[in-house]
Amino acid sequence: MLPLQLQPESHIPLYVQLRDQLRALVHSGELRTGDRIPASRELAGHLGVHRTTVATAYAELESEGLIQGHVGRGTFICNAGLKQFSPAPRTSGDGGMLRWESLFADERGEDGLSRLMPDVPAGAIAFTIARPPAELFPVEEFRRCCSAVMRDQCRNVLQLGSTDGYEPLKRSVIEMLRAEGLSVTDEQLLITDGGQQAIDLLGKAFLRPGDSVAIENPAYPGAIATLAGARIRILPVRVNAEKNSAGLDIDALEAVLTQNRVKFVLITPDFHNPTGTTLPMAERRRLLEVAARYQVPVVEDTIYGRLRLRGSAMPSLRAMDRSASVIQIDSFSKIAFPGLRVGWCIAPESVTERLRLVKQSTDLHTDQLAQATLAEFIRRGYLVRHVAKMRKVYLRRLETLEECLEKEMPQETTWTPTEGGMCLWITLPPGFDAAEFLIHARERGVFFVPGRYFYSQHPQPNTLRLGFASVDEKNITRGIHILAETLKQEIRKRHRGGNGASHARLALV
Amino acid sequence: MLPLQLQPESHIPLYVQLRDQLRALVHSGELRTGDRIPASRELAGHLGVHRTTVATAYAELESEGLIQGHVGRGTFICNAGLKQFSPAPRTSGDGGMLRWESLFADERGEDGLSRLMPDVPAGAIAFTIARPPAELFPVEEFRRCCSAVMRDQCRNVLQLGSTDGYEPLKRSVIEMLRAEGLSVTDEQLLITDGGQQAIDLLGKAFLRPGDSVAIENPAYPGAIATLAGARIRILPVRVNAEKNSAGLDIDALEAVLTQNRVKFVLITPDFHNPTGTTLPMAERRRLLEVAARYQVPVVEDTIYGRLRLRGSAMPSLRAMDRSASVIQIDSFSKIAFPGLRVGWCIAPESVTERLRLVKQSTDLHTDQLAQATLAEFIRRGYLVRHVAKMRKVYLRRLETLEECLEKEMPQETTWTPTEGGMCLWITLPPGFDAAEFLIHARERGVFFVPGRYFYSQHPQPNTLRLGFASVDEKNITRGIHILAETLKQEIRKRHRGGNGASHARLALV
């Protein structure tokens, strides 16, 4: 038999592991052109996995041209797939073509994680997305703002500007925050290219390779990618997703802080992506107390904070902070327009000044046409009105989603209660793997993101995220019906005992 | 006497060195409140520097509140300046306020370099700038493009987009390059937030801390800042700025490549900032040959390439490259609008794919409103027309500048011939320091950037950059007259023998 070793506890789906290992066997020469590989049913039985897992791995290898099936004869390694791995042609005398692959700073290769975010074909029901629906953008208001900017500020907007931000936008943001009860000075505020850049800048300002950062597990994958790219040690802290205890586990955080020198804690206290949890008041206080005690900065991502759909408002960590230990990052992408890359960062003055220097050598400043138009959009009151409208839309969608789940899903399936944001966190019955479940769901036109995508360590393979913000009620109803039916069918298959080995193995996870 | 040590060969101006050392003596306690410090004339004589140097340092310390002059009694250390350095107040019990300064990844402190880029008051003549003049922006054409985008693509532009770039802009750039004779595929092209971000992304893709990069000396300070921020070893390669031999010294480059493992060479072959030099054809061939032989990638910054004002066009390194060893970075900021942060990068497919992953974890993608409007601006032929117009404007300005210099400047002052771009590189008579000269010039309302600002090592203190693109002919004429008069006056002062010591010392540089 082939020397294959699958790890159910990895964040990489089993079919990706299998595909990659088979490919490696070809490249190392252990499998050669013309070699026959086992039938998918046979290999599945041997490995103790679902047959779909093997079939999906084989399908991908076939589309790469690495294997080929012949009806009645079996599946064979073939030649075509090897071409792309032949060494680059050398030209004579001058040292030859450059081999770029050997020059990259890191092994990145094919990223198992990015494969978990499925490509969604048009017409499918996409629970994959956690962003505002384009069809509800206040296009008319936006056009008016853009025209006003073009009329009054065109030359100013088009000339090189300040690294800390376009002055009218800084003023608008400060006024918006003041109206929300948060006092911020111009010197504390830095405009960024969205929340993603804020994380990048914080990394550059505070971290050296090998430094440690504590983040939620699961967490926003963009944060994991930025930190991993900067060669940072990611220390995952459990997120409680149960009814009575929600959000970052402060005891677990304290254990991490006791044992490690942590440069900062990154947390989304409101409507956390992906779990939807909100850190309760008492835990907020404890977090700040622990951070002050260990002298560790807290980076608070409030990107979903304005999307509270029910329940009572809670102050941000920055508003509660008495030790000047909180940096807040925020963005317009969830409350307005993700295609304009504009966000902001609030920090003590000395930190903002450092971030400004770092941003200057990163991209000079954020695009000013977008900044100016958003400033106008806030100034005219359009943003507040738009957010109020979208909260109603999102609440209806969330309630529809919950009703459908309640009505349709098999009993062993649970979800984390949420009071806002854009997504719901689902836990499938034990032993199920959401990445494998997705294979069946997408055949029926329904897409979601497997939970593995969000974990930096110890993934729970039976979790998945449903983004509800950009799916209308009709499609939510239809989509959940399809997911529930698919899941029930899979449960029935298992009860028929067809995959005992796979059960046994996956149940250990 | 005070323990002061000035280094004329440093890139930090003498007055900044003096100011910082005096400040340090106060903070370390060697100088205390009430201590008398020497009169500026006395200290200047002792240190062998121009009296203005000491006076400027004293003026800055006085504005900080660290010293105070009393007529007839002398200059004394005073109390006020010390307040800002007292330790942060601690709150009781909870670990106290966070001391952010101890948490930054690097010592950056006050950057001597950024102080060399002077703040220019309104109404002054600013040769400091190398960017397009806002009053000549084709505002009407831009408005039309923006309106068309708002009308036809608004929702698309406002929704989250592709990391590699907004499709219509990629198409427009590819067509523009094709019309210029360069063949580029969609897979080779990545849209960036301007040229500055391209350097940042290349750093993340290729470099680890401690890696080496060869760059021109002098060079674009933004490149130096980005590489220094990423803890890269910068290997400076001499730029020839003489009439008969211009641009990067390829022999010097080869010497660097022989002795170091260099990850890439960063070069601006056309109208280099700050020297204005253009690498001749024969040297372009040699550079590519050397790069291929040493298997070192060449990063070619063509940001000024379209601003050829006279002489005959030369192919880019990428167009001449036969070993696939060139990455080209470019931007709209010099040919159109710096306030829109949009540029691009052309590289082999595998490199572009890697840069795309890096950009994704940096800022997801470039602002789409700016991308869409620029796409329209190219598509309608406005960009080509605007560049043609601006080349005429810049040529007139360059010729005026050269005529004025020729007519007014003392004989020992020289400048590097240039065929395009936005600046001219001036060499003052031996022994002069441009940073000190600026102190006199700005008193008369004329500003420029001292050459030190552009060097990563071994600065020539008697060099300076005159940006001519955004100064009209009248102000060029007036500005050069003032600079020439100021310089002549300084030369006369020296001939009167008032600062022999300073002469002798600076002449050694």
Q: What is the pLDDT of residues A168-201, one digit of tens each?
A: 999 999 999 999 999 999 999 999 999 999 999 9
- Residue A143 contacts B where some CB pair is shorter than 8 Å: yes
CA distance A161 to B338: 8
Domain ranges of chain A: 1-85, 116-131+385-507, 139-380
Tell me how far apart the alpha carbons of residues A116 and A112 are, in angstroms, rounded to a whole number.
7
B105 in contact with A, Cβ within 8 Å = yes
Residues of A in contact with B134 (CB under 8 A): 155-156, 158-159
Which of A106, A131, A362, A368 is the mutation pick for testing B, counting most B CBs within 10 A?
A362
Cβ–Cβ contact B368 with A under 8 A:
yes
Q: Taking residues A239-254, report their average pLDDT.
A: 87
A381 alpha carbon, distance to own chain's centre: 31
> Within an 8 Å CB–CB cutoff, is residue A204 touching chain B?
yes
Block residue for tokens 């003023």: A171
Complex ipTM value: 0.81
Rounded distance between C-alpha atoms, residue B90 and residue B11, angstroms: 39
Contact B362 A154 (CB under 8 A): no
Fold (topology level) of A116-131+385-507: Aspartate Aminotransferase, domain 1 (3.90.1150)
Burial class (CB in 10 A: 0-12, 13-18, 19+), B311: exposed
- Residues A403-410: contacts with CB under 8 Å, at least 24 apart: A404/A476, A404/A477, A404/A480, A404/A481, A405/A480, A408/A480, A408/A481, A408/A483, A408/A484, A408/A485, A409/A480, A409/A483, A409/A484, A409/A487, A410/A484, A410/A487, A410/A488, A410/A491
Q: In terms of CATH, what superfamily is B118-136+385-507?
A: Aspartate Aminotransferase, domain 1 (3.90.1150.10)
pLDDT higher at B384 or A86 = B384
On the question of a cis peptide bond just before residue A430, with omega within 30 degrees of 0, the verdict is no
Identify the three-state secondary structure at position A163.
coil
d(CA A262, CA B143): 49
pLDDT given for residue A116 in this prediction = 61
Is residue B87 reached through a cis peptide bond, with omega within 30 degrees of 0 on the bond before it?
A: no
> Under 8 Å CB-to-CB from B132, ≥6 apart: which residues?
B334, B335, B336, B337, B338, B390, B469, B470
Interchain CB distance below 8 Å, A111 and B357: yes
Residue A346, strand partner residues: A189, A328
pLDDT at A90: 37
Q: Give the single-character DSSP code of A168.
A: H
State the Cα–Cα distance between residues B145 and B373, nearest whole angstrom.
Answer: 6
CA dist B85 and A65 (Å) reads: 67
**CB-based contact A354:B108 (threshold 8 Å):** yes
DSSP letters spanning A277-344 = ----HHHHHHHHHHHHHHT--EEEE-TTTT-B-SS-----HHHH-SSS-EEEEEESTTTS-TTS--EE
Q: Contacts of residue B293 in chain A, CB cutoff 8 Å?
A: 94-95
Which residues of chain A have a CB within 8 Å of the CB of B207?
Answer: 105
Residues A281-293 have pLDDT tens digits of 999 999 999 999 9
Q: What is the chain A residue with the closest CA to B166?
A: A339
Residue A121: partners with Cβ closer than 8 Å, 6 or more residues away: none
The closest CB to that of A292, out of B94, B200, B263, belongs to B94
Class of A1-85 in CATH = mainly alpha
Tens of pLDDT along chain B (509 residues) come to: 788 888 877 777 888 889 888 888 887 778 888 888 888 888 988 888 888 888 888 888 887 778 888 877 788 888 655 544 433 333 434 456 888 878 888 765 445 456 567 788 888 999 998 999 999 999 999 999 999 999 999 999 999 999 999 999 999 999 999 999 999 999 999 999 999 999 999 999 999 989 999 999 999 999 999 999 999 999 999 999 876 678 999 999 999 999 999 999 999 999 999 999 999 999 999 999 999 999 999 999 999 999 999 999 999 999 999 999 999 999 999 999 999 999 999 999 999 999 999 999 999 999 999 999 999 999 999 999 999 999 999 999 999 999 999 999 999 999 999 999 999 999 999 989 999 999 999 999 999 999 999 999 999 999 999 999 999 999 999 999 999 999 999 999 888 865 444 443 333 32
A182 interfaces chain B, CB cutoff of 8 Å: no
B312 half-sphere exposure, CB direction, 13 A CA radius: 2
A183 touches chain B (CB under 8 A): no
Q: Which residue of B has its CA nearest to A220?
A: B361
Render the burial of B151-178: b for 16+ CB within 10 Å, e for the rest: eebbbbbbbbbebbbbbbbbbbbbebbe
Alpha helices in A32-130 (DSSP H): 40-47, 51-63
CATH topology (fold) of B14-87: Arc Repressor Mutant, subunit A (1.10.10)
| pLDDT-based confidence at residue A93 (cuts at 50, 70, 90) | very low
Candidate from A206, A231, A361 with C-beta closest to B226:
A361
Kindly state the helix (H) or strand (E) to which residue A234 belongs, with its residue range. Answer: strand A233-242
Instruction: Choose among B95, B157, B340: nearest Cβ to A367.
Output: B340
Closest residue to A100, CB basis, from B139, B208, B348: B348
Selection from A101-110, A138-147, B239-248, B495-504 with the highest mean pLDDT: A138-147
CATH class in words for A139-380: alpha beta
pLDDT single digits (tens) A375-415? 999 999 999 999 999 999 999 999 999 999 999 999 999 99
Q: Where are the alpha helices (DSSP H) in A409-472?
A: 434-443
Give residue A115's pLDDT. Answer: 57
- Cα separation of B406 and B413, whole Å? 9
Q: Please give the mean pLDDT across all residues of chain A.
A: 89
How far, in Å, CA of A419 to CA of A309, rounded?
Answer: 6
Q: Tell me whether A390 touches chain B (CB under 8 Å).
A: no
A308 CA: distance to closest CA in chain B (Å): 22
d(CA A10, CA A61): 21
C-alpha distance from A188 to closest chain B C-alpha (Å): 14
Query: By the 8 A CB rule, do A409 and A466 touch?
Result: no
Q: B207 CB near a chain A CB, below 8 Å?
A: yes
Beta bridge partners of B464: B426, B450
What does the alpha-carbon distance between residue A38 and residue A48 come to, in Å, rounded to a whole number? 14
Q: What is the DSSP letter of B420?
A: B
Q: Which candidate, A218, A215, A229, A129, places its Cα nearest to that of A452?
A: A218
Q: Are B98 and A323 in contact (CB under 8 A)?
A: yes
Instruction: Work out how many CB contacts closer than 8 A connect A with B.
Output: 260
Instruction: Using CB atoms, pick whichever of A142, A204, A207 lies closest to residue B229.
Output: A204
Q: Please give the Cα distance from A328 to A175 (Å, whole number).
A: 16
The answer to whether the CB atoms of A211 and B105 lie below 8 A apart is yes
Which pair of structure tokens corresponds to residue B417? Answer: 């011939």
Is residue A451 predicted with pLDDT exceeding 70? Answer: yes
Smallest Cβ–Cβ distance between B154 and the set A142, A156, A208 belongs to A142
- Give the position of tokens 């406002």: B158
Q: Which of A157, A158, A360 has its CA nearest to residue B196?
A: A360
Give pTM, 2 decimals. Answer: 0.82
Angstrom CA distances, B483 to A258, B56, B446, B487, stand at 62, 19, 7, 6
Question: If you classify domain B139-381 with CATH, what class do you get?
Answer: alpha beta
Polymer length of chain A: 509
- Decide: helix, strand or coil at residue B219: coil
Q: Side chain identity at B343, as an amino acid letter?
A: G
Radius of gyration of chain A (CA): 25
CB B291 within 8 Å of CB B263: no
